[in-house]
Amino acid sequence: MAASVTPRGTVAAAGRPWLVLAVVLIGTFMAVLDVAIVNVAIPSIREDLHASFGEVQLVISAYTLTYASLLVTGGRLGDLFGRKRMFMLGLALFSTASAACGIAPSSGVLIGARAVQGIGGAMLYPQVLAILQLTFEGEARTRALGIFGSVAGIAAVAGQVLGGALLALNVFGLGWRPTFLVNVPLGVLAIVAAFAILPPDEHERRGSLDLGGVVLTAATLALLIVPLVEGRELGWPLWTLVSLVLSLCGAGAFFAYERRISARGGSPLVRLDLFRNAAFASGVPIAALFTAAYAGFLLLLAVYLQVGLGFSPLQAALTYTPNATGFFVASLAAPRLVPLLGRHVLSVGYVVAAFGLLASAATAAAAGGNLAGWQLAPSLFVAGVGQGLGMSPLVGTIIGSLEARDAGSGAGVVTTTLQVGNALGVALIGLIFFGLLGARQAPADYATTFASVLPVSAGLLALAAVLVSRMPHTPGEAANALIERLPGWAEGFAYSMFLMTGGRMADSLFHEILGHVSQRRLQRTQTAPVALGDFLAFHFDAAGEDTAWLHYLMREALAYGAGEIPHESDRLPVIQAQVDEIRRRQSASLLPGDMDPALLRLFAFALASYPRMLPQITRMTTGLAPDDPRFVQIWESLLRRIGAQLESARTAPLA
């Protein structure tokens, strides 16, 4: 079972949650940066270490393999032994391995150090999401997860740009080595800051590490990722195809083993019941599609610019800069859009990114082999904006619906999915690109092939947008940007159109608004204060958001009387939940047990809604409008007195 941590622990008490965010984001930046930064250094590494192309491929895949294979294990270790402890150990291992990479005398040492680097990254990265889930709540959590997504995306972008800049500067004549050594001072800084700022681990050591699950996970992902990374260059020999088939068998064996562990009451590496959460289960494939599209795009652009057109690493980095700028700006803006658009920030992002990629393909096709880097700037900027919107809220959208205790396990699953999607994207897009290119090597051939294959990445993004639209809503999420922000008059107009036409007009809009109102009222039922007087005052205050809805109810009553109304079945669950809440209070001896809970619900609705439903009567009776602060004060005072009287009568049943 995952660790149990108080969300408002020592960090929140000390008022330092945003310092915690800053610390863990250093680790995030390092882990993601190293997935991308080595790509631009490949030619220099190969020349300096006299490495074969296969050895250079292993420099990339050694990190990817250990990183992806052990992410779930890293999340589970954090659950068992403490997130702060594992974060700091991961940083230390990652930084030490980075130093070893930077001074590696041979390709063999570099490959081994990269594998250790991946282990360190897998130890620290899942702790980041778990710490954020446990440190922040509500809107602050949404912002924190959005910033996390921004930094993760920016790190992937910065890997290309920073790598090209370091190689061009040739710092101290070290060539490619600073691309690894840059992690060392960052790691030391992060370790010191983590020790001083992160809260002490408050975990329960229950269960043990599922070693069988660790072995099966690592073996399955190795069987999948190694042939995907190496297969194309080797011409897809038989062992790569056998390995891919065996990866499917390994996945089946892993899930069967994890189910047996759970059935015996053990502690599985991956709690499969996480996938009973519909938002989580439907979000994981979206993560894979986005990273597959993004990784494929990066591969195509790098090959097209550096191999096809002969750009230097610095020229390629400068060409890529508009995309990085768009990504950066959109990543920072995305958390602010989440309260307005909800998960549809992702939909907008994927559609915009797909449009940008298609425009880039058209630009390349028109320019042929004579492309200047600036010609791609507008379309790459648009693609970057979409990618930033599609990355920043992605992880938060997927794991935001999980309980805090599941944060570590969920983070491990999501980050593993991102890496598997990355490998799948490189393999799929690379296979199509080099298959179409064949033996042709002219710049114009690269341009034509680039323009033909880039729409595949756009298609993956379009599919991701479709899946986002089918994700279930989670509590507190904005269901629809227009409806979520409709002013009272517009909401009232929609209600009126629906009512006047007998439901023949504005039905879909009415249904959407009804769903929003129902969700809002259910949330109130769950978050209302315990004391009855405060409970009544809370609902009166909250009813100010429902003025248009209350007015519609009055018109509906005139139209239908006591007869059946449209969408009645959609409203009954909310009313039943409110009645059940009255029953719960009665069973807890907070209300007289012999009073009918349905009648008490009507009583509470009348007290909370009457002044706003009949404002003219309120004005004539008290001389004050229902929204006047003076009326609000005296009415809430009366509600609290009535609540106190009812609570005092719970031991003396009323006749």
- Verify that 203 and 297 share a domain, yes or no: no
Provide the 8-state DSSP code for 306.
I
Condensed to tens digits (0 to 9), the pLDDT of residues 472-488 reads 765 445 444 334 444 44
In terms of Cα–Cα distance, which of 575, 626, 580 is closest to 605? 575
> What is the CATH number for 102?
1.20.1250.20
Residue 100: partners with Cβ closer than 8 Å, 6 or more residues away: 109, 113, 116
Could you give the number of structural domains in the chain?
3
Query: Of 435, 458, 478, at which residue does a domain stop?
Result: 478
Lowest pLDDT segment from 53-67, 498-512, 514-528: 498-512
Query: Of 461, 478, 495, at which residue does a domain stop?
Result: 478
Q: Is residue 590 part of a domain?
A: yes
Mean pLDDT in the chain?
77
- Verify that 541 and 621 share a domain, yes or no: yes
Is the pLDDT higher at 276 or at 502? Answer: 276
- Verify that 368 and 491 share a domain, yes or no: no
pLDDT(456) > 60: yes
Structural domain of residue 356, as residue ranges? 270-478
Q: What's the start-to-end Cα distance of the chain, in Å?
A: 50
- Verify that 175 and 318 share a domain, yes or no: no
Q: What pLDDT does 142 receive?
A: 67
- Verify that 159 and 31 share a domain, yes or no: yes
pLDDT tier at 207 (50, 70, 90 boundaries)?
low
Q: Is residue 256 part of a domain?
A: no
Q: What pLDDT does 640 receive?
A: 86
For residues 35-61, average pLDDT: 73
Is the pLDDT higher at 650 or at 400? Answer: 400
Burial-class residue 628 by CB neighbours within 10 Å (0-12, 13-18, 19+).
Answer: middle
HSE at residue 446, side-chain half, CA atoms within 13 A, is: 19
Condensed to tens digits (0 to 9), the pLDDT of residues 235-252 reads 788 898 899 899 999 989
- Verify that 87 and 129 share a domain, yes or no: yes
For residues 185-195, average pLDDT: 89
Q: Is residue 265 part of a domain?
A: no
Cα Rg of the chain, angstroms = 29
HSE at residue 51, side-chain half, CA atoms within 13 A, is: 23
Q: Residue 379 and residue 365: Cα distance in Å, rounded?
A: 13
- Verify that 517 and 468 share a domain, yes or no: no
Q: What pLDDT does 206 receive?
A: 55
Angle value at C-alpha 272, between 267 and 278, nearest 5 degrees: 145
HSE at residue 523, side-chain half, CA atoms within 13 A, is: 13
For residues 113-118, average pLDDT: 91
Is the pLDDT higher at 588 or at 103? Answer: 103
- Verify that 489 and 471 share a domain, yes or no: no
Query: Of 439, 461, 478, at which residue does a domain stop?
Result: 478
Q: Is residue 153 part of a domain?
A: yes
pLDDT(443) > 70: yes
- Verify that 497 and 467 share a domain, yes or no: no
Residue 247: both structure tokens together: 């990866």
Helices 83-102 and 183-197: crossing angle in degrees, nearest 10, is 160
> What is the CATH number for 524?
1.10.357.10
- Verify that 640 and 621 share a domain, yes or no: yes
Condensed to tens digits (0 to 9), the pLDDT of residues 286-303 reads 988 998 898 888 878 878
For residues 318-331, average pLDDT: 83
Q: Is residue 327 part of a domain?
A: yes
- Verify that 502 and 451 share a domain, yes or no: no
**Could you give the percent of the chain with pLDDT greater than 90?**
11
Q: Is residue 382 part of a domain?
A: yes
- Verify that 277 and 289 share a domain, yes or no: yes
Q: Is residue 301 part of a domain?
A: yes
pLDDT tier at 350 (50, 70, 90 boundaries)?
very high
DSSP labels, 515-540: HHHHHHHHHHHHHS-SSHHHHHHHHH
Is the pLDDT higher at 100 or at 29? Answer: 100
Select, from the ranges 55-59, 231-235, 303-307, 407-411, the one with the highest average predicted confidence (pLDDT). Answer: 303-307
Residue whose tokens read 């279930």: 472
HSE at residue 384, side-chain half, CA atoms within 13 A, is: 23
- DSSP 3-state assignment of 586? helix
For residues 373-385, average pLDDT: 89
Q: Is residue 45 part of a domain?
A: yes
